Amino acid sequence: MKMKYSAFLVLLAFLFSCGGKPEKIDETTTRGNIQVASDDAFKQMLEAELFIFQTEYKNAKVKPIYTSEGEALDLLMKDSVRFVVAARKLNDQERKFFKDKDLIPKETLIAYDGLTFICNKSAKDTTLSFNQLKSLFSGKPITWKDLDPTGSNDTVRVVFDSPRSGNARFLKEAFSLPELPPNCFAAKSNEEAIKYVESNPNAIGVVSSNWISDPDDSLTQVFMDRVNVIGISAKADPDAKNGYRQPYQEYIADGSYPFKREIYIINCEIGTRLGTGFASFIASDKGQRIVLKSGLLPAVVPVRFIEVSHEF
């Protein structure tokens, strides 16, 4: 019995000396496990960033939570996540909340997008002046005939992704609305809003341009085959005397598309850890190229170097 006990002690010592005891791995900018929360509007872009980042850094495990902008920021303030992607910076009340906790969140501008309006494939007119669009949010029932003399007498319904989304908040701010009018309602996500417009000829949808801008993304191709993107006139041209613009990168860049907005990473982690590494990756030249590829406008235009040889 004594011999067996001694043998057990020897085996135990061997296992611990050879790594039987788990080694504690410290989190770094390229290693660790974190959760990040993002407004559903930017899912397509963030998925592409995550795929490349985790392909390059095998020990980095980043789990995304796609939800509304309001819910993502709630998670940040509850310390359930320490990294959020949203279409705004923190407001004064949120800044005070973190200041009282001796935290200074890092806010990084990573991209611009355009709030996008879509309609059913059967729609006769796929353009709206800024004033016509504004009338949709006046609180009065608007019919298609009000927008186009050849349209029907059916009331236009406006669908967006979530009551607490960045899309809904941006609309209210754009038209100075305390609340969205009765002709507006929420689906569960940008994808669901697109599907609703696809099957309802009387609907206009409000989504992020991220969902309709990447020509190489299979889901984007499916959606673009099923809905039309509405051209909008500039805010400075409310009656569309100078034509219409869609939320493409060049029109977002030159400001002629009227619903341009900024996209930020808000990072509350203490020290330099995996969240900082992922944020730095998205803001880097490689990360900004992914932003560009996803159909959004990068915050920093990627630089392309071309080697030119001269023969004399």
Average pLDDT of span 165-194: 93
**Residues 122-135 pLDDT 10s:** 888 899 999 999 99
Q: What are phi and psi of 253, to 5 degrees?
A: -65, -45
| Domain assignment present for 307 | no
| Domain assignment present for 88 | yes
Owning domain of residue 275: 32-112+262-298
pLDDT of residue 124: 82
pLDDT of residue 301: 74
pLDDT of residue 213: 77
pLDDT of residue 139: 87
What's the mean pLDDT when you consider all of the chain? 88
| Domain assignment present for 23 | no
| Domain assignment present for 172 | yes
| Domain assignment present for 275 | yes
**Band of the pLDDT at 220, cuts 50, 70, 90?**
low
Is the same domain home to 90 and 199? no
Kindly report which listed range (63-72, 98-107, 147-156, 211-220) carries the lowest average pLDDT score: 211-220
Is the same domain home to 216 and 143? yes
Is the pLDDT reported for residue 21 higher than 60? no
CB 186 within 8 A of CB 180: no
Is the pLDDT reported for residue 223 higher than 50? yes
Burial of 135 (0-12, 13-18, 19+ CB in 10 A): middle
| Domain assignment present for 20 | no
**Residues 283-305 pLDDT 10s:** 999 999 999 998 899 999 764 54
Is the same domain home to 104 and 140? no
Is the same domain home to 136 and 234? yes
**Which has more pLDDT, 162 or 11?**
162
| Domain assignment present for 250 | yes
Is the pLDDT reported for residue 2 higher than 50? no
| Domain assignment present for 188 | yes
Is the same domain home to 184 and 131? yes
Is the same domain home to 126 and 228? yes
CATH of the domain at 266: 3.40.190.10
Is the same domain home to 280 and 208? no
Is the pLDDT reported for residue 44 higher than 50? yes
Domain edge (last residue) among 260, 286, 307: 260
Count of the separate structural domains present in the chain: 2
**Which has more pLDDT, 3 or 205?**
205
Is the pLDDT reported for residue 74 higher than 50? yes
Is the same domain home to 267 and 256? no
Is the same domain home to 127 and 103? no
Is the same domain home to 76 and 55? yes
Is the pLDDT reported for residue 12 higher than 50? no
Is the same domain home to 94 and 125? no
Q: Which two tokens stand for residue 59?
A: 């020990």
Is the same domain home to 190 and 282? no
